[in-house]
Structure 1
């Protein structure tokens, strides 16, 4: 990928809703070129800017689930799970005998129906292990995948708001009846204009603009950038489950969040009290990462490394042949 494209991706990670003119000014490229490059990358399924409701801000229960199943059933099970709106991420392990997914839902009834009835009744499912997320250290618009940090100068990053990494704490705002319409549009296109948001919600553009600013400021709504990692030299994805000494849990979680290979890390209930999603160039890189950076962390009692051969869904959008596909509710591209 060209350096110009990589710099644009990094700029969008820092300021996903920045105008093309602002991005062009910071990156030293004409705004028409920025717009053309962005649309090309999006059409190619290399990046997707999307909005999501912060599950920790609105009372969602956010679960990490592992389903062990017959190897011949993993792909079909993963696809069925990926079709659900309340499931944000689905992957199949290297052996094909396990499907991992994350589910976020306000409806305990819907979640429990899936975890205690639908899945257990399937003859294809052998075992289910689920843990609720207690705290997210990294993964909610944490300035993007840090492997791309060096592509912008400190001054360029600062101009796009790339200073201190935002926290995960949030003070949600009271809901408005039209919020769901805003969320639907932004889930398909995180850069949707306030004109489009106003039309979808049936409100004035000024009100849509003010509401969007309030939702973002309170971190009730998060705008993030999803990447087709293969185009960035990544061929190995893995989930790592940790048992960490309780007194060191905060320290280890924060340390993992600072490592460039880590895309998500959270404290959770269950047998393992910490989970991390990592992206590496290859298996050799994964080995060096786990035996070096991770092994050096004080407080890690044990870890289980679970590589994936296929990611079916990430950040709420489907992945087809390594390319990102917008959700079914995708809005017209701009």
Structure 2
């Protein structure tokens, strides 16, 4: 990937369905070239995109899903076999390989705590090669991949992207069955054409186009553009677990979320009650970053640190051992909790 590719990905992280002619004006590269480059990036597995539902904050409590992080210890030499067995599971959203005393960390989404427990105890724990599991139930997400940005565009370019015409200001308070169909249609490719989705669900192109415009600005939907981070220069990923006094959780979590290196940050139910995933260009950066965090948040005690040398699945997208996109499995959770997004 070169500078134009990075600028294109950054632009689509901000405005995922911007037209090529709109991006031509902002990036300064002709529309045909941008379209061709995007197709190349997607076809090579370097870049992919997602669309998913979240429960509106004002929605009924019973409708909100549960997110859990689950450590998985494997029999020596069995990690890849375990990966192959669990990766197709729709409610296993993300799988990361780890260093240390466990081999995998999974992100699960289910309707309830009981359903998480049942899956872990009766399905995950019985997969051949699984030695042990440990579950951490999430509480609040201060940051996740939807809001992570490459950060290569200028402020004027970002303002121009944010100023593009919005067609979804009339989005309803909650998604309709049509919106749910359209979200599923965009789930594995946020730039999929309205015509293709309309043909699939039996609606008019105009109806689908309007629904897409609405969900792009609605509080109950999210879009994101991901990339094979290890292939494009993010060579060190570390997961850090903190023990933070309860009354400072919001402050520390929000502060960590503001760091450009933070990919994910959430509070969990455990003695180590806050965790963050950090993306860096080189592991040598971690010493300075850890010192910076310690100075800013002296009461946040680091309990553990893991390397994450490989992402095997990310929000339904199964990745190859080299980190490139391989296939998509439509997630089958309820709408993700409303805390699955950045806080102010």
TM-score, normalising length: structure 1: 0.86
2:74 paired residue among 66, 69, 75: 69
- Tell me how large the CA RMSD over aligned residues is: 2.6
1:117 aligns with 2:122: yes
Report the equivalent of 1:166: none
Q: Does residue 1:197 correspond to 2:197, yes or no?
A: yes
Q: 171-180 or 299-308: which moved more?
A: 171-180
In structure 2, the CA distance between the partners of 1:317 and 1:162, relative to structure 1 (3 Å rule), is farther
Aligned to 2:258: 258
Most deviating of 14-23 and 294-303? 294-303
Three-state SS of the structure 2 residue aligned to 1:217 is coil
Q: Is the 8 A contact 1:71 1:96 kept in 2?
A: no
Structure 2 CA distance, aligned partners of 1:83 and 1:326? Answer: 10
What displacement does 1:109 show? 6.2
Q: In the alignment, which residue of structure 1 is the partner of 2:308?
A: 308
Say whether the 8 Å CA contact 2:12–2:225 is kept in structure 1. Answer: yes
Q: More deviation in 151-160 or 103-112?
A: 103-112
1:23 counterpart = 2:23: yes
Contact 2:179/2:215, CA 8 A, preserved across alignment: no
Aligned residues: 319
Decide whether aligned partners of structure 1 residues 247 and 110 sit closer, same or farther in structure 2, where only a CA change above 3 A counts: closer
- Residues 41, 240 of structure 1: alpha-carbon distance in 2 compared, 3 angstrom cutoff: same
Measure how far apart 1:5 and its partner are: 1.2
Tell me the equivalent position of 2:325. 324
In the TM superposition, residue 159 of structure 1 has moved relative to its aligned partner by: 0.9
Is 1:152 matched with 2:147? no
Gaps of 5+ in 2: 58-62, 165-170, 331-344
CA deviation profile, 1:9-52 (whole Å, cap 9, x unmatched): 11111111111111111111111011011111111111112212
In the alignment, does 2:241 pair up with 1:247?
A: no
Alpha-carbon distance in structure 2 between the residues aligned to 1:184 and 1:38:
22
Q: TM-score, normalised by structure 2?
A: 0.84
Alignment correspondent of 2:103: 98
Give the unaligned 5+ runs of structure 1: 164-170, 330-334
1:159-200 superposed Cα distances (whole Å, 9 cap, x missing partner): 11189xxxxxxx984443344432332112111122222222
Higher helix share: 1
In 2: Cα distance, 1:157 partner to 1:107 partner: 39
Which residue matches 1:272? Answer: 272
Change beyond 3 A, Cα 1:112–1:190: same
Q: 1:62 to 1:112 in 2, by over 3 A?
A: same
Provide the C-alpha distance between the structure 2 equivalents of 1:172 and 1:249, rounded to a whole number of angstroms.
33
CA gap 1:247/1:19 in 2 versus in 1, 3 angstroms: same
- More divergent stretch after superposition (292-301 vs 182-191): 292-301
